[in-house]
Copies of this chain bind each other. A is one copy, B any other.
Amino acid sequence: MQGTEEPTSQGVAYTPTDRTVPTRSADRAAYDKELVHAILDEAYVCHLGFIRDGAPVVLPTLFGRVGETLYVHGSTGSRPLRMTGKADPGLPVCLTVTHVDALILARSAFHHSINYRSVVVHGTAYDVTDPQEKRTALDALVDHVVAGRSRDSRPADKKELAATAVIRLDLNEVSAKLRTGGVNDEPEDLALPHWAGVVPLRKGYDTPLGDPDLAPGTELPAYLADL
């Protein structure tokens, strides 16, 4: 099938569109797939935007990634998961992920900023109805919290599967945006007496706390000890 593969889905970068080329700071935009995947995979939650009753709604939610597809799950009773089922052909969404890496303190108020990495995905979300894809998606959601965890937990049973709605969003119209580096003050401000510089944000984990009801002899798994 190699001859019939679409260049877009096989390329190393997403094709920019009107929606994914920023009107400002276009030099901070990036379309490299590996970079986009890395930013997505490092995030625990995304912010999912959709339209309800003519107004925008932005909700934080867990997500998972399988190749070029993102999955979001939730109760079958929750918004927006009820809406994709109703909507035909799918629900227009915008899914955004952001990491704040550092505070940028400039001598001028105007040039205060943050170093960040974000990904914005535009597209249409569809209900996942295929049982095998649904299982794959749920594994990806658990593995997104801790890599490999889906193999070390009880898989969803029939009742849980029926109570869970999953929607898919393909990575087609996608951009990353990044700010890195230091302070960008105006040359005439450099002699001002205000301290200026970068305050990096530290991220990490505290010691895992075992559930009080752990089965006797249950040890902390290596994939958590290594965090």
Residues in A lying within 8 Å of B, measured CB to CB: 19, 22-24, 44-45, 47-52, 54-60, 62, 74-75, 77-79, 82, 92-96, 98, 100, 103, 105-110, 112-114, 116, 118, 120, 122, 138-139, 141-142, 145-146, 149-150, 152-157, 160, 164, 182-183, 185, 189-215, 218-221, 224, 227
Which of A79, A110, A182, A198 has most chain B Cβ within 10 Å? Answer: A110
Asked if residues A195 and B218 are in contact (CB atoms below 8 Å), the reply is: yes
Given A49-B49, A110-B164, A183-B211, A59:B100 Cβ within 8 A:
no
A sample of 8 more A-B contacts (CB under 8 A), given A58-B96, A62-B113, A197-B210, is A19-B55, A45-B98, A55-B94, A108-B156, A154-B194, A195-B210, A195-B224, A197-B208
Complexed CA–CA distance, A203 and B214 (Å): 27
Asked if residues A60 and B116 are in contact (CB atoms below 8 Å), the reply is: yes
User: Which of B95, B107, B155, B203 is the one whose CB lies under 8 Å from A153?
Assistant: B107
Asked if residues B197 and A213 are in contact (CB atoms below 8 Å), the reply is: no
Identical copies in the complex: 2
Given A78-B24, A164-B110, A215:B200 Cβ within 8 A:
no
**A109: which B residues are within 8 A, CB to CB?**
138-139, 142, 150, 153-156
Asked if residues B206 and A202 are in contact (CB atoms below 8 Å), the reply is: yes
**A58: which B residues are within 8 A, CB to CB?**
47-49, 58, 94-96, 120
Complexed CA–CA distance, A162 and B94 (Å): 31
Asked if residues A98 and B153 are in contact (CB atoms below 8 Å), the reply is: no
Complexed CA–CA distance, A211 and B120 (Å): 31
Which of A54, A56, A112 has most chain B Cβ within 10 Å? Answer: A56
User: Which of B60, B96, B106, B197 is the one whose CB lies under 8 Å from A209?
Assistant: B197
Asked if residues A153 and B201 are in contact (CB atoms below 8 Å), the reply is: no
A8 CB to closest chain B CB (Å) equals 20
**A201: which B residues are within 8 A, CB to CB?**
203-206
**Nearest CB in chain B to that of A221: its residue:** B195
A92 CB to closest chain B CB (Å) equals 5
